[in-house]
Structures are given as C-alpha cells and as structure tokens.
Amino acid sequence: MARVALCQPRRLYNILNQYRRFPRLSEPNYLCLLDARTQREYYESHIITARRIEQSPTGEYLVPDYEELRCVRYCVVYDNDTSSLDCCDNGKKEEEKDAEEGTAVRYARSLEWFTRNPVLVLRGGYKHFSACYHFLGTQKLFWMPQELDNLQLYPVEILEGKLYMGNFKQACDKKIQKDLKIKAQVNISEEPATLFAEGDNYLHISVPDAIEADLFSSFATISHFIDAQLEHGAVLVFSKLGISRSSTATMAYLIHSHQFSLRKAWYYVLECKTNVIPHRGFVKQLLDWETKVYGMTLTDFSALNY
C-alpha cells in the first residue's frame, strides 16, 4: 500500500511543467490530478488538466479507473485550502477527526490502496496554488492529445518565487516573463536573447555545450549576479534546451550562495527538472567549484549516479 503525503505548491508547479520531447502532461500514465472541491468551484476555475472527483448518487466519492491508478507516476488531490494531513488533537473522537479532516485528505486516503506511489495532497489547496500560479488556472474541461502536445510550458521553479530555470524559447516569451515576474536573466547559451538584450538586468555567458567549454571561470560572476538581482525580483537562468548549461550554472549558484554540496544541488535540481544532465566536462568543473568554495571535496563523482 502506498501512503499519503503533502505536496508543496512549487512541486506541483514543476510536475506540470516537465517535458521530454513533448510535455509530460500528454503521457497517459504521468499525472492524475483530482479536484475535490464543489462542482461550482471546479467550473469557475481549476488547475490545468485537473478532473473533478465524481460522486455516486448517495454522495460517496468514486475511485477513478484502477488500472490508471496502478500505473500513474503522480496522483495529486486538492481541495480549497487543506494545509495538514492531521489537524486534529489526539484526544478527539474518530468521528470528530473525520469531520475536521479536509476533503482532499479523506479522498487521498481512499486512493492509497490502489497506487504504487504516494498519493499527494496539495498543501494550501487551490486557494494558495492559484495565488502563486494564477496562469495555470483554467475553465477547460477536456484536453485533446494534440493540445497537450503543444502546451507552452513554463520554466521550472528552483527557489520559490525567486529563481527559475528554463530554455531559450521560454526566455523569449513575453507572457512567461510577465507571469513569473522575471526581472533579470542569465543566458548560458551562445545566442543573445531578444527581451533582455542589454542593461544591468541581463548577463550573457556565451558558452558552447561542448566537452572543452569553460563555465568554471564564470561561476562566481553568475552567482554574484543572481544574488544582486534577487533583491529586485525573480531571475531566470536559461540555455538553449535548458538541460545542460543552465542546470550547471544553477547548481554552481546553489553551491556558492545556499551552502549546498554538489550532491545536494545535483539531486535538488534533478527533482525540479527531471531531464537535466550536464555533460561530463561541466560535472568536473562543478566538482572543482565545490572544492574551491568549501576548501575541500564533499562529493564523490560516483554519488551522482551520472
């Protein structure tokens, strides 16, 4: 049996914005997102691709297709504002606990018998998620496969409301910049971006994605730039595909400014964006950077499962 766990809004945002060749939302066994609010609330607005939980004529919540639940990678349930899995005092009667427990938690506990992975309950519910990511709300009820294939995804969120990591196309999208309140960009690709082509809020480190390319000498510049810009708003770090160079720069920043070891930075960024893979030359430079920042080597290469 799986278990029930809380899901931070940032994690669900990143789950929604994963891609391989196409957005992962188009994969049938990737995400089962369930809305446990009232019908009126659901029709007014819900998180993109969410389905409303169905009820029987007697008011009991129905379990979705068993086969789907067994295979799905993420099963996320949300109501309006649940913030805890257990908000009751130990001395209260069981029926009083059930009455106080959020709808999302009760429903999630009925699903954990059918899933291989933990059933996630969105912390803060739709109320908090929509306050942070209003642009991921919709009234759309049905999605055609082609629509999901062509979704414009957002950069993943590294630090809540502060640091994002994406690709060149996302960096040049005006709506994305506005929605995420991006005030500065770090471009780790050879081509200049079109929106922030000049000024103190734009840093361009022109580096090819090649084994002999040098990013190490720019790690300090990148880190100091991000720290300075975060005082004024959100920062986007990007490269052409958002997989190798941008992730390398992001890890270097976390090592420098947030006391991460390379191992911790590696798995933290990998959790935010599951297809990142700095090439081997950049990994060696990150190992050297960790040694320079801390005066010792903290991470063994084998610990990265590269």
Contact (CB, 8 A) for 105 and 124: no
Q: Of 137, 133, 183, nearest to 10 (Cα)?
A: 133
The runs of H, that is alpha helices, within 244-294 are 245-257, 262-272, 280-294
3 state SS of 172: coil
pLDDT category, 97, cuts 50, 70, 90?
very low
User: In whole angstroms, how far apart are CA 186 and each of 63, 126, 214, 238, 255?
Assistant: 45, 32, 16, 6, 17
- Across residues 114-129, what is the average pLDDT? 94
- Residue 123, SS3 per DSSP: coil
Q: Are strands 137-138 and 46-47 parallel, antiparallel or unpaired?
A: antiparallel
Q: According to the CATH classification, is domain 4-149 in 3.40.250.10?
A: yes
pTM: 0.91
Residue 236 three-state SS: strand
User: pLDDT per residue over 150-196, tens digit each?
Assistant: 999 999 999 999 999 999 999 999 999 999 999 999 999 998 877 76
DSSP letter string, 16-62:
HT-BSSSBGGGSTTTEEEEE-S-HHHHHH-EETT-EEPPB-TTSPBP
Please name the CATH architecture into which domain 156-304 falls: Alpha-Beta Complex (3.90)
Length of the chain: 306
Residues 6+ apart with CB under 8 A from 147: none
Domain boundaries, the chain: 4-149, 156-304
Residue 306 · residue 284 · CB < 8 Å: no
Q: What is the pLDDT of residues 58-85, one digit of tens each?
A: 767 777 777 788 889 999 999 999 888 8
Contacts of 113 (CB under 8 A, 6+ apart): 1, 2
Give residue 113's pLDDT: 87
Q: Output 68 or 225, whichever has higher pLDDT.
A: 225
